[in-house]
Amino acid sequence: MSVIGQHRRADVGRTLVGDVLEIGPGLAPFPTPPTARVTYADRSVDGGTDATWPELAGQPHGPDSHLDLDLDVDGLREVDDESFDSVIACHVIEHLANPIAALREFERVLRRGGRLVLVVPDRHRTFDSVREPTTLAHLLNDFRRGVTDVDVEHIDEFCEAIFSQPPIHPDQVRDWHDPARLDGERIELHRRRSIHVHCWAPEGFAVVLAGGLARDLMSWQLIDLYFFDDVGGQPDNEFGLVLERSTARRSPTEQSVAFVRRWVDLALEPSRHPRRLFALHSALLANFEGWDELAPTAFVVVDALTARLAEERAVNEANDERVAAAEARAAQTSERLRASESRLTEVLESHSYRAGRAIRAVFVPQRRRT
Confidence of residue 3 (pLDDT cuts 50, 70, 90): confident
Q: Considering the entire predicted model, what is its pTM?
A: 0.82
Q: What is the pLDDT of residue 369?
A: 43
Q: What is the pLDDT of residue 192?
A: 93
> Does the 8-150+195-305 domain belong in CATH 3.40.50.150?
yes
Q: Which residues are registered as beta bridge partners of 68?
A: 42
Q: What is the pLDDT of residue 283?
A: 92
- What is the mean predicted confidence (pLDDT) over 359-364? 52
User: Which three-class secondary structure state does DSSP give residue 30?
Assistant: coil
- What is the mean predicted confidence (pLDDT) over 222-242? 88
Cα 215 from Cα 220, distance rounded (Å): 12
Confidence of residue 85 (pLDDT cuts 50, 70, 90): very high
- Are 251 and 242 in contact by the 8 Å Cβ rule? The answer is no
Q: What is the pLDDT of residue 368?
A: 47
The more confident residue out of 303 and 343 is 303
- What is the mean predicted confidence (pLDDT) over 138-155? 96
- Are 147 and 118 in contact by the 8 Å Cβ rule? The answer is no
Least confident of 163-167, 266-270, 290-294: 290-294
Residue 278 has pLDDT above 70, yes or no: yes
Residue 277 has pLDDT above 50, yes or no: yes
Q: Which of 242, 220, 218, 240 is CA-nearest to residue 229? A: 240
- What is the mean predicted confidence (pLDDT) over 174-191? 95
**What is the DSSP code (8-state) at residue 220?**
E
Q: What is the pLDDT of residue 327?
A: 65
Least confident of 14-18, 22-26, 137-141, 329-333: 329-333
**What is the DSSP code (8-state) at residue 126?**
S
Residue 338 has pLDDT above 80, yes or no: no
Cα 101 from Cα 78, distance rounded (Å): 16
Hey, where are the domains in the chain? 8-150+195-305
Instruction: State whether the Cα torsion 330-334-340-344 is positive or negative.
Output: positive
Q: What is the pLDDT of residue 340?
A: 58
User: Which three-class secondary structure state does DSSP give residue 261?
Assistant: helix
